[in-house]
Amino acid sequence: MKVAIIISRELREDVEAFFARLSPPPDDILEVFGFSLDNMPTEQEVRRAYGEMVKKYHPDGFFQFQDKEILEKTDYIFRIIRGAYERLDTMQKIIDYQEQAAAGAVKNAKSQRLQRDLQGIIAFDKAMGCLNYKDYRSAVEFFKIALDINPSDQDRMSYYAWALFKLSLQIKEDAARAVAEGRKIDNKEDFVEMQARSRDLLNQAVERNKKTASIAYLFLGHIYLSEGLIEMAETNYHLALARNPNLAEAIRVLRNIDIKRRQKEAEALEASKGMFVRWWNKLRKWLAAKKKKSPIFQVKNGK
C-alpha cells in the first residue's frame, strides 16, 4: 500500500501566499516576477525569475502530496506565470510592453480625470437645484463635493460660501422659532461661525482672481445687504457688474435699492412738507388770535 506524503506546513503556506498574490492576476504582468514599470527588468532577469518560479511552483512537483487543493492552486499559479513569461520572454517584448503600458496609463489617467470632472459637474448641478428649492443643507453638501473635486474653481467656492450663509440664516430662524414656541433646540450648530466662514470663503474667492470674481462680489453684496450695510452692498454689486456687466441679479438688486432710496426721499419730503404745513397753520392761527386782540383791529370793528 502506497503511503501518501503530507505537504509541509511551510510549503503549504508559501503556495497559498503566492496564490493569493496572483488572485486576481495583477494588471501589470511585471508584478508577477516582482518588477514594475518603474523598475523594468532585462530579458535575463525575467528568465531567471521565471525559472525559479517554475522550479518552486510547477504542479508536477506537487503530485506526490495527493492534495487536490494544492494541486489546483499550483496549476493556477503555473498558468499565470507561464502566460506572463510568454509576453516578456524577449527584450523586444519587454520594451513593447513598457510602451503600451505607459500609453495605457496616460489614457487611463485622462479617463479618470474626465470622469472625476464629470462627477464635479453633476454635483454642482445638483447643488444648484437644491439651492433653488431652498434645501440649503443638501446644497452645501453637493457644493462641497464639487469644490473638493476642483478646489481652484472660483465660482464653486463662491456658491458653496453662499449656500453656507443661507443655511446659517435658516438655522438662526429655526432656533428663534423654537425659542418663541418654547421648544427644545435640536440643532445646536453655530450659525455665527458659519456666517463668518462663508464670508471668509468669499473673500478667498475674490483674492484668487479679482478680475473674474463677479459671483463672489455679488454674494458679498447680498450678505452686506442682509445686514443693513447698504453702501457696502452697493460697492460690491458695482464691483460685480464691473466684471460682468450682464449680471442680471446685481442689476435688479441695485435697481431695487435705488427705488427704495427714492421712496424714502419722497416720504421724507412729504413728511417735511407736512411739518411745514402744520407749522404754517399754527402760525396763521396765532397771528389771527394776535390780530383780534390788537387795539387797531378793535377800532376798525367799532369796538
Distance of CA 158 to the CA centre of its chain: 10
| 21 pLDDT more than 70 | yes
Predicted confidence at residue 107, as pLDDT, reads 62
Contacts of 28 (CB under 8 A, 6+ apart): 36, 37, 101
Model confidence band, residue 3 (pLDDT cutoffs 50, 70, 90): low
Neighbouring C-beta atoms of residue 40, cutoff 10 Å: 15
Can you tell me the distance from the alpha carbon of 80 to that of 89, in angstroms, rounded to the nearest whole number? Answer: 14
Mean pLDDT of 162-189: 81
Is the pLDDT assigned to residue 188 strictly greater than 70? no
3-state secondary structure the chain: CCCCCCCCHHHHHHHHHHHHHCCCCCCCHHHHHCCECCECCCHHHHHHHHHHHHHHHCHHHHHHHCCHHHHHHHHHHHHHHHHHHHHHCCHHHHHHHHHHHHHHHHHHHHHHHHHHHHHHHHHHHHHHHHHHCCCHHHHHHHHHHHHHHCCCCHHHHHHHHHHHHHHHHHHHHHHHHHHHCCCCCCCCCCHHHHHHHHHHHHHHHHHHCHHHCHHHHHHHHHHHHHCCCHHHHHHHHHHHHHHCCCCHHHHHHHHHHHHHHHHHHHHHHHHHHHHHHHHHHHHHHHHHHHHHHCHHHHHHCCC
169: pLDDT strictly greater than 80? yes
* Confidence band of 26 (pLDDT split at 50, 70, 90): confident
The pLDDT tens digits for 205-254 are 999 888 889 999 999 999 999 999 999 999 999 999 999 999 899 999 99
List pLDDT tens digits, range 57-97: 888 888 787 788 888 888 888 888 888 888 888 888 888 88
* 122-143 per-position pLDDT tens digit: 899 899 999 999 999 999 999 9
> Can you give the pTM of this predicted structure?
0.57
* Mean pLDDT, rounded, for 170-195: 78
The confidence band for 187, taking pLDDT boundaries of 50, 70 and 90, is low
Which range has the top average pLDDT, 28-37, 179-188, 206-215? 206-215
Alpha-carbon distance of 54 to 66, in angstroms, equals: 19
What percent of the chain is predicted at pLDDT more than 90? 33
- In angstroms, the CA 84 to CA 262 distance is 82
Q: Report in angstroms the alpha-carbon separations of 297 from 281, 285, 290.
A: 21, 16, 10
Q: Is the pLDDT of residue 1 over 50?
A: no
Q: Chain-wide mean pLDDT for the chain?
A: 84
